[in-house]
C-alpha cells in the first residue's frame, strides 16, 4: 500500500526569513517545501505545489498598496517586494481554488485580506519591536478570539490572550474584505487580529507571530499541528 505524506508549502521572501516557520512545522512531523519568488522561474504553479497539502504564508515585507488601489504613503516607511506579492497571490489563489488548508501569519493575514478585495492601513504606531539595552523586544498586547472562530477549537479555547506584535501595517473593519470574517481583534484599539474565510474549510489568518513560541501562549502551537493534520487529510482525500 502506497503511503503519501503531505507537504506544507511555505512562501517567503528568503530561506532565512522562513527559518522559524520551517522549524516549527518540522517539529510537528511535517515535510516542508519553501517557495520563494525565484522558484517560479520556469515552473508553473501546479509543479511548485505538487504533493502539497497545506499552505503557510509567513511574515515579511510590506504589501504594495497599489494592489489595493492606493498609492504608497512616502511617510509610512514601506519596504516593498512586488515580486513576492505577485508570487504569493498566485500561490494563495491556487490553494483557495482547491480548498487547501491555509495558515496566514502577519503579512500573510494582510495578503489574505488583499486577495479577497480588502485594504490595509499603511502604517500603525506602537506595534513594532523596540530596542532596549541593545536587544530587540517585541511589543505585546491583548487580543480576543471569538468562540465561533475555527481558530478557537484548534488552539483549544476562545477568550483573551497576550501575544506579540511585530507589524506596522494592519486593518480594521473599514479595510476588511467583505467575504472574510473577523475572528479576533485587539482589545485596546480594535485592530483585527484574526481573519477566516467562511467559503473555505480551513483558511485561518492571524496577525501575531505564533512561530515565535516563547512570545505567545503555548497552545498556539496547535495551529501548526492543525495545519499539518488538515494537510494530511487534504492529500488523503485527493488520492482516494
- Active-site residues, by number, are 106, 209, 211
Three-state SS across the chain? CCCCCCEEEEECCCHHHHHHHHHHHHHCCCEEEEECHHHHCCCCHHHHCCCEEEEEECCCCECCHHHHCCCCCCCCCCCECHHHHHHHHHHHHHHHHCCCCEEEECHHHHHHHHHCCCCCECCCCCCCCEEECCEEECEEEEEEECCCCCHHHHHCCCEEEEEEECCCCECCCCCCCCCCEEEEEECCCCCEEEEECCCCCCEEEECCCCCCHHHCCHHHHHHHHHHHHHHHHHHHHHHC
Strand 31-35 with 181-186, pairing: unpaired
The mean pLDDT value for 199-226 works out to 97
Q: Give the C-alpha separation, 121 to 117, whole Å.
A: 14
pTM of this structure: 0.94
pLDDT for 38: 84
pLDDT for 99: 98
Q: Is 124 a member of any domain?
A: yes
The whole-chain average pLDDT of the chain stands at 93
pLDDT for 167: 84
Say if residue 54's pLDDT is above 90: yes
Q: Is 58 a member of any domain?
A: yes
**Vertex 115, ends 174 and 233: CA angle to 5°?**
120
pLDDT for 41: 66
Q: Is 70 a member of any domain?
A: yes
Structural domain total, the chain = 1
Tens-place pLDDT, residues 123-174: 987 655 555 556 667 789 999 999 999 999 999 999 999 999 988 899 999 9
Q: Is 155 a member of any domain?
A: yes
Lowest mean pLDDT among 30-44, 53-67, 223-237: 30-44
Give the CATH number, domain containing residue 126: 3.40.50.880
What is the span of the domain harbouring residue 166?
7-239
CA torsion 133-138-144-150 (nearest 10°) is -150
Q: Is 140 a member of any domain?
A: yes
Q: Is 53 a member of any domain?
A: yes
**Which has more confidence, 43 or 36?**
36
Q: Which of 207, 236, 210 is nearest to 223 (CA)?
A: 210
Say if residue 87's pLDDT is above 70: yes
Q: Is 1 a member of any domain?
A: no
Distances in Å between the Cα of 37 and the Cα atoms of 14, 44, 45, 85, 104 are 9, 12, 11, 9, 17
Q: Give the C-alpha separation, 169 to 18, whole Å.
A: 20
Q: Give the C-alpha separation, 61 to 45, whole Å.
A: 22
Res. 1 pLDDT band, cuts 50 70 90: very low
Res. 2 pLDDT band, cuts 50 70 90: very low
Amino acid at each position: 500500500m502506497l503511503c503519501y505524506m503531505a507537504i506544507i508549502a511555505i512562501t517567503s521572501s528568503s530561506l532565512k526569513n522562513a527559518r522559524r516557520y520551517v522549524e516549527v512545522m518540522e517539529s510537528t512531523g511535517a515535510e516542508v517545501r519553501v517557495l520563494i519568488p525565484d522558484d517560479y522561474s520556469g515552473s508553473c504553479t501546479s509543479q511548485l505545489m505538487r504533493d502539497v497539502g497545506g499552505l503557510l504564508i509567513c511574515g515579511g515585507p510590506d504589501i504594495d498598496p497599489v494592489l489595493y488601489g492606493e498609492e504608497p504613503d512616502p511617510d509610512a516607511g514601506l519596504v516593498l517586494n512586488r515580486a513576492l506579492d505577485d508570487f504569493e497571490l498566485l500561490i494563495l489563489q491556487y490553494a483557495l481554488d482547491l480548498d487547501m488548508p491555509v495558515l496566514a501569519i502577519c503579512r500573510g493575514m494582510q495578503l489574505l485580506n488583499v486577495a479577497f478585495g480588502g485594504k490595509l492601513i499603511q502604517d500603525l504606531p506602537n506595534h513594532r519591536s523596540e530596542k532596549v539595552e541593545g536587544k530587540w523586544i517585541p511589543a505585546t498586547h491583548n487580543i480576543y478570539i471569538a468562540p465561533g472562530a475555527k481558530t478557537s477549537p484548534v488552539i483549544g479555547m476562545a477568550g483573551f490572550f497576550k501575544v506579540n506584535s511585530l507589524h506596522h501595517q494592519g486593518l480594521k473593519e473599514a479595510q476588511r474584505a467583505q467575504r472574510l470574517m473577523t475572528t479576533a481583534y485587539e482589545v485596546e484599539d480594535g485592530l483585527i487580529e484574526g481573519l477566516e474565510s467562511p467559503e473555505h474549510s480551513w483558511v485561518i489568518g492571524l496577525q501575531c507571530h505564533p512561530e515565535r513560541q516563547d512570545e505567545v501562549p503555548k497552545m498556539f502551537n496547535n495551529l501548526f499541528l492543525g495545519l499539518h493534520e488538515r494537510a494530511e487529510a487534504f492529500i488523503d482525500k485527493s488520492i482516494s
